[in-house]
């Protein structure tokens, strides 16, 4: 066998999906689109408030049926300035870097929300910082989590 | 009827960053043949096959049926399991239950990955919830960085402490002819390596590898017939919780704490540092080698750097970790957890050659993955 | 005979598209349903098996979506694992984990939404990427090859297959969970839109959304519950070669092998005489007669006569797919566990309008993985 030449095939797989947000996710995404409100839900047993709202509180195994309005401000719980290249599976293109990926604890909520911060200088970021949601304009909100453009630092 | 189970054979490929000389099926076959040779068996001796990987890394659907020519599962009972990073440990645990159930005597378990065949980070991103997590998610690294930075802040851990863990594993990896990275590094080199996501640097984290592992489990009667010293399965424990990455508690690895507690209670381990003889920890980055050994009860929270710098977890130390070089030297993801089990079995069987820890009675193998999930398997020289 | 019983079960109705529920919401629905059916609480379950597929879900580690919803996160978490394949394989692995002595009860859950992905691309993905995938083959094209080969080998006709569709879609009229139910004629099936010759629209199962759950228990637990346990009398699985060119598609040796081992475990010698009801994985009409041949219900090449002569009719000697089968609802992965649930309902005598006549001593359920039924799992249930 000719050891020098090994063939490999390059294929860009285009695999489309349409995912249902379901009953609980739709409650949040509709409020985000129509009222610029962030909604979570609350477990009647342990009183933990979740975002995104979901069908069951895992540790208690009961439905958190009470919908709770959350603040659009919160605390930066953890973050990373992403600086390495990779293919974004949603677009098939390289995702623009740098960008700051963050876990945000919204006021009134016990779980974290994954979102973006509009600051990519690590020296200007630290855990515990206060952040506030920046919403897209009325015309640009379509009922997805990216209707929040990003969070900005407010202190 | 249920039966006790031992590991009687282990095979693996020579792991590399890319293996363009083989297809996935051929890669699987290398590990299978190596395991059969190790156990001095032929494929006819195998009663059932268990296989797994992560689908989107190679973009193959139904890997179990696709890979029959490589796995040897032709006209045999065959099943596929997959749980992300924990896939390999999930597979090993499934091999154990196959034989322990009494439905099968000799079970071949295969984990594999050809990470070179896709954009690894792009594929990992698809494990996040498509509606709430995926647009912002950027793979395994940021979560680990969040975990590490919280840990540093809480206990005053230093980046050098973590670097010392990487140095240990890279030093051990030099003893393992199968490892992808076999060159030792120094603390200075780790500290000077490029910062990827603070505080994690290039030499703090695992590579991505092409590779496969195969482990043969057997029920007690066959195990005794076929192998002079099987590695007997004593116990397993698994915790896979959470629906969203934003639910993970990055301060504590509750899944490992819960699984460890269940396993220690089950087999009666009270002082793991003294009672365990070797650990193959699924440690994808150096900081885990500090924080997670605290979660395993080897020392109090924040005290792990002392154990690390004292060499307690080095070869020749009180409780050697990762004689194989661990995940920091080799990470073919669907195989990684199974490599931990196979390497732990070699230690118990006394067949680990240049990386053998003397007189191993109890060896612990772990798995990590998913949304901070943990798997455990404890192996011992005598049947449980 | 094994020491494992099905003590609870639930399934969603099957629909073309369930936008009202995501995966977690469907799994919570069937988990609560199965617990209620068994008279158990989530704290009684010490082991969980989830079944899902990363391609169908469009998500690596697809099981992550349902860890909370199935209860495996309850009180800090319980032991759990994930099978990727048909639900019958999840049932099998759940059983093993009880038989090993590690656990007493197991909840097996499975979900799939055919509505969310692209079936042709997803099933194209199960073929070899160098030699086969570029040809555009996917589940339907491969099935058409198999149907043709089966017809040519034994002089079976498209009308023989049409009789299966007529029977199963008619049976589905008695099943409130079914997605497609209709009184139709052989002529209507024959005149339906050609899809991939010899298969026509009514030879195909629909694309469906759905979920199902089964609770298994060891004899020690099952005997103490109020509800009548349905025992797993026999179970076996087997795979044959992958490349279609390596196989004679008019045969299914893996099914032959699996069924013989399952029969031996259950003590069955003459399946046609001893098995009272069958729920098969009939993703396409031709599959039912082919699978029945390999299960030993008739000599090879005679499968076409079974539906035509009424032997497998609802009121025939061996009713096959009284639920309407996969031809009437095909949530991939879920469909095999749905067959198990339907068989269990028959054993319990609780199948409602679709309950077959007479006592059910043995019921057979069946699931498949891979192209053209490459891998099979056979389950025998009984009182």
Section C131-159 average pLDDT? 96
CA B116, B119, B120, B126 torsion-angle sign: negative
Give B252→chain A minimum CA distance, Å. Answer: 14
**Rg of chain A on CA atoms, in Å:** 19
CB contact under 8 A, A87 and B122: yes
Q: Chain C within 8 Å of B141 (Cβ-Cβ)?
A: no
Contacts of B125 in chain A (CB under 8 A): 86, 88-89
CA A30, A35, A37, A39 torsion-angle sign: negative
- Determine the residue among B20, B28, B62 to mutate to test chain C binding: the one whose Cβ has the most chain C Cβ atoms within 10 Å: B62
Of B357, B327, B355, the residue nearest B340 (C-alpha):
B327
The domains of chain B are located at: 5-120+210-226, 128-206+232-380
* Dihedral in degrees, nearest 10, Cα atoms A65, A66, A71, A76: -40
Asked if residues A92 and A14 have their Cβ atoms less than 8 Å apart, the reply is yes
Q: Chain B within 8 Å of A61 (Cβ-Cβ)?
A: no
SS3 string of C318-331?
Answer: CCECCCCHHHHCCC
- Which domains are seen in chain C, by residue range? 4-117+207-222 (3.40.47.10)
pLDDT in single tens digits along all 384 residues of chain B = 899 999 999 999 999 999 999 999 999 999 999 999 999 999 999 999 999 999 999 999 999 999 999 999 999 999 999 999 999 999 999 999 999 999 999 999 999 999 999 888 888 888 999 999 898 888 888 889 888 988 998 999 999 999 999 999 999 999 999 999 999 999 999 999 999 888 999 999 999 999 999 999 999 999 999 999 999 999 999 999 877 888 888 888 999 999 999 999 999 999 999 999 999 999 999 999 999 999 999 999 999 999 999 999 999 999 999 999 999 999 999 999 999 999 999 999 999 999 999 999 999 999 999 889 999 999 999 998
CB contact under 8 A, A95 and B142: no
Whether the predicted pLDDT of A3 surpasses 80 = no
**How are strands ordered across the β-sheet holding A66-70?**
A49-50, A38-42, A66-70
Query: pLDDT digits over C42-56, tens only?
Result: 999 999 999 999 999
Q: Rounded CA gap, B16 and B355, in Å? A: 19
Percent with pLDDT over 90 in chain C: 97
Q: Residue C102 corresponds to which tokens in the numbers above?
A: 């590690």
CB contact under 8 A, A114 and B137: yes
Cα-based distances in Å from B149 to A80, A126, C15, C222, C344: 10, 10, 47, 49, 53
Residue A138: Cβ-neighbour burial (10 angstroms; 0-12, 13-18, 19+): exposed
Which residue does chain B place closest to A94, by CA atoms? B122
CB contact under 8 A, A57 and C28: no
Contacts of C68 in chain B (CB under 8 A): 241-243
Tokens 């460890």, located at residue:
B260
ipTM exceeds 0.95: yes
Q: Rounded CA gap, A57 and A63, in Å? A: 6
Please provide residue B4's backbone torsions phi and psi, each rounded to the nearest 5 degrees. Answer: -75, 155
Q: Contact partners of B by the rule of 3+ C-beta pairs under 8 A?
A: A, C
Please give the interface size between A and C, counted as residue pairs whose CB atoms are below 8 Å apart.
70
Give C109→chain A minimum CA distance, Å. Answer: 15
Cα-based distances in Å from C243 to A41, B166, B289: 50, 44, 44
Q: Which helix (H) or strand (E) holds B151?
A: helix B140-155
Contacts of C370 in chain B (CB under 8 A): 62, 64-66
Q: Rounded CA gap, B29 and B35, in Å? A: 10
C382: helix, strand or coil: strand
Q: Rounded CA gap, C66 and C25, in Å? A: 8
Which residue does chain C place closest to B1, by CA atoms? C99
Class of domain B128-206+232-380: alpha beta
CB contact under 8 A, B371 and C64: yes
Q: Rounded CA gap, B15 and B32, in Å? A: 14
Which residue does chain B place closest to A80, by CA atoms? B142
Residues in C lying within 8 Å of A, measured between beta carbons: 18-22, 24-25, 28, 42, 55, 58, 67-69, 71, 73-76, 113, 115-118, 121-122, 125, 129-130
Q: Which residue among C54, C85, C93 sits closest to B56, beta carbon to beta carbon?
A: C54
Q: Rounded CA gap, B300 and B152, in Å? A: 15
CB contact under 8 A, A23 and C18: no
- Determine the residue among C49, C74, C77 to mutate to test chain B binding: the one whose Cβ has the most chain B Cβ atoms within 10 Å: C77
Of C80, C109, C106, the residue nearest C11 (C-alpha):
C109
- Model-wide pTM > 0.90: yes
Q: Rounded CA gap, C310 and C167, in Å? A: 9
CB contact under 8 A, B370 and C95: no
Give A121→chain C minimum CA distance, Å. Answer: 31
Q: Rounded CA gap, B382 and B103, in Å? A: 23
Cα-based distances in Å from B173 to B177, B181, B191, B330: 8, 7, 19, 9
Q: Residue C127 corresponds to which tokens in the numbers above?
A: 């073929």
Query: pLDDT digits over C244-293, tens only?
Result: 999 999 999 999 999 999 999 999 999 999 999 999 999 999 999 999 99
Q: How many helices, marked H, and strands, marked E, lie in chain C? A: 14, 11
Q: Rounded CA gap, B251 and B148, in Å? A: 9
Of B55, B83, B241, B64, the residue nearest C89 (C-alpha):
B64
CB contact under 8 A, A20 and C22: yes
Give A24→chain C minimum CA distance, Å. Answer: 8
Q: Rounded CA gap, C171 and C354, in Å? A: 7
CATH fold match for the domains B5-120+210-226 and B128-206+232-380: yes
B100: helix, strand or coil: helix
The separation between CA B330 and the C-alpha centre of its own chain, rounded to angstroms, equals: 10
pLDDT band at A1 (very low <50, low <70, confident <90, very high): low
Q: Which residue among C24, C55, C115 sits closest to A54, beta carbon to beta carbon?
A: C24
Q: Which residue among A86, A111, A114 sits closest to B122, beta carbon to beta carbon?
A: A86
How many Cβ atoms are within 10 Å of A142's Cβ, its own excluded? 11
Q: Give per-residue burial for C326-351: e unless 16+ CB within 10 Å, then b.
A: bbbbbbbbbbbbbbbbbbbbbbbeeb
Contacts of A88 in chain B (CB under 8 A): 122, 125
Asked if residues C379 and C88 have their Cβ atoms less than 8 Å apart, the reply is yes
Query: pLDDT digits over B294-329, tens only?
Result: 999 999 999 999 999 999 999 999 999 999 999 999
Contacts of B242 in chain A (CB under 8 A): 58
CB contact under 8 A, A17 and C116: yes
Which residue does chain C place closest to A7, by CA atoms? C130
CB contact under 8 A, A20 and C42: no
The CATH classification number of B5-120+210-226 equals 3.40.47.10
Q: Rounded CA gap, B133 and A25, in Å? A: 12
Contacts of B238 in chain C (CB under 8 A): 79-81
Tokens 């509750």, located at residue:
B254
Of B379, B64, B380, B63, the residue nearest B236 (C-alpha):
B379
């Amino acid at each position: 066998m000719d050891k020098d030449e090994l063939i490999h095939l390059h294929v860009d797989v285009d695999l489309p999906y349409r995912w249902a947000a379901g009953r609980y996710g739709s409650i949040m995404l509709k409020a985000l689109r129509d009222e610029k409100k962030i909604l979570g839900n609350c477990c009647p047993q342990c009183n933990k408030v979740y975002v995104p709202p979901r069908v069951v509180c895992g540790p208690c195994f009961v439905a958190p049926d009470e919908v709770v309005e959350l603040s659009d401000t919160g605390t930066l719980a953890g973050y990373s300035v992403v600086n390495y290249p990779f293919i974004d599976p949603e677009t098939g293109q390289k995702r623009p870097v740098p960008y700051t990926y963050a876990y945000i604890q919204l006021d009134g909520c016990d779980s974290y929300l994954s979102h973006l911060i509009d600051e990519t200088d690590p020296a200007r970021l630290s855990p515990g910082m206060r952040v506030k949601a920046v919403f897209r304009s009325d015309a640009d909100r379509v009922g997805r989590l990216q209707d929040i453009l990003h969070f900005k630092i407010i202190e | 009827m249920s039966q006790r189970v031992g590991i009687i054979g282990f095979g693996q490929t020579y792991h590399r960053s890319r293996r363009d000389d083989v297809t996935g099926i051929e890669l699987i076959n290398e590990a299978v043949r190596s395991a059969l040779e190790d156990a001095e068996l032929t494929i006819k001796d195998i009663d059932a096959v268990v296989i797994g990987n992560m689908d989107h890394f190679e973009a193959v659907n139904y890997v179990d049926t696709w890979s029959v020519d490589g796995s040897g599962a032709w006209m045999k009972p065959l099943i596929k399991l997959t749980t992300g990073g924990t896939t390999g440990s999930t597979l090993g645990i499934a091999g154990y239950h196959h034989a322990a159930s009494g439905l099968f005597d000799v079970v071949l378990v295969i984990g594999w990955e050809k990470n070179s065949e896709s954009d690894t980070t792009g594929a990992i991103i698809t494990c996040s919830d498509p509606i709430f997590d995926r647009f912002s998610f950027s793979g395994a690294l940021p979560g680990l960085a969040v975990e590490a930075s919280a840990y540093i802040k809480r206990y005053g851990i230093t980046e050098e402490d973590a670097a010392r863990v990487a140095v240990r594993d890279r030093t051990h990896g030099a003893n393992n002819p199968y490892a992808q990275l076999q060159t030792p590094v120094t603390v200075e080199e780790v500290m000077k390596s490029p910062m990827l996501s603070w505080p994690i640097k290039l030499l703090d984290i695992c590579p991505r590898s092409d590779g496969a592992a195969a482990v043969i489990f057997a029920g007690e009667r066959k195990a005794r017939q076929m192998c002079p010293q099987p590695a007997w399965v004593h116990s397993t424990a698994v915790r896979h919780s959470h629906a969203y990455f934003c639910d993970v508690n990055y301060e504590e690895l509750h899944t490992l704490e819960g699984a460890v507690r269940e396993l220690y209670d089950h087999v009666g381990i009270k002082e793991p540092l003294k009672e365990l003889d070797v650990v193959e920890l699924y440690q994808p980055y150096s900081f885990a080698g500090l924080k997670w050994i605290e979660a395993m009860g080897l020392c109090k929270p924040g005290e792990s750097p002392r154990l690390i710098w004292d060499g307690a977890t080095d070869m020749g130390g009180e409780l050697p970790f990762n004689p194989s070089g661990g995940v920091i030297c080799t990470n073919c993801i669907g195989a990684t957890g199974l490599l931990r089990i196979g390497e732990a079995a070699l230690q118990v069987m006394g067949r680990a050659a240049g990386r053998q820890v003397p007189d191993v009675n109890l060896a612990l193998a772990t798995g990590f993955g998913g949304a901070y999930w943990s798997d455990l398997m404890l192996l011992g020289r005598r049947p449980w | 005979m094994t020491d494992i019983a099905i003590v609870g079960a639930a399934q969603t109705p099957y629909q073309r598209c369930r936008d009202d529920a995501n995966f977690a919401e469907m799994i919570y629905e069937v988990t609560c349903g199965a617990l209620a059916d068994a008279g158990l609480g989530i704290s009684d379950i010490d082991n969980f098996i989830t079944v899902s597929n990363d391609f169908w879900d469009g998500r690596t580690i697809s099981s992550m979506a349902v860890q909370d919803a199935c209860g495996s996160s309850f009180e800090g978490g319980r032991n759990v694992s994930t099978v990727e394949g048909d639900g019958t394989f999840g049932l099998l692995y759940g059983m093993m984990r009880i038989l090993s002595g590690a656990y007493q009860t197991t909840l097996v859950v499975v979900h799939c939404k055919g509505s969310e992905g692209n079936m042709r691309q997803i099933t194209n993905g199960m073929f070899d990427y160098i030699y086969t995938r570029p040809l555009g083959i996917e589940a339907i094209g491969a099935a058409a090859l198999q149907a043709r080969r089966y017809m040519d080998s034994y002089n079976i006709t498209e009308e023989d297959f049409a009789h299966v569709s007529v029977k199963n879609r008619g049976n589905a009229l008695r099943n409130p969970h079914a997605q497609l139910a209709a009184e139709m004629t052989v002529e209507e099936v024959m005149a339906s839109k050609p899809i991939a010759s010899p298969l026509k629209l009514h030879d195909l199962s629909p694309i469906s959304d759905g979920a199902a759950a089964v609770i298994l228990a060891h004899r020690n637990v099952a005997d103490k519950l109020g509800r009548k346990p349905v025992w797993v009398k026999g179970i076996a699985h087997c795979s044959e070669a992958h490349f279609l060119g390596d196989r004679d598609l008019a045969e299914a040796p893996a099914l032959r092998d699996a069924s013989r081992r399952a029969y031996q475990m259950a003590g069955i010698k003459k399946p046609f005489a001893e098995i009272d009801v069958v729920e098969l994985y009939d993703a396409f009409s031709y599959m039912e007669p082919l699978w029945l041949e390999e299960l030993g219900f008739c000599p090879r090449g005679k499968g076409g006569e079974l539906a035509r002569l009424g032997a497998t009719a609802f009121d025939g000697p061996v009713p096959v797919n009284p639920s309407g089968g996969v031809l009437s609802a095909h949530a991939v992965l879920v469909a095999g566990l749905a067959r198990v649930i339907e068989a269990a309902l028959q054993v319990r005598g609780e199948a409602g309008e679709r309950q077959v006549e007479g006592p059910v001593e043995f019921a057979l359920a069946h699931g498949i993985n891979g192209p053209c039924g490459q891998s099979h799992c056979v389950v025998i249930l009984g009182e």
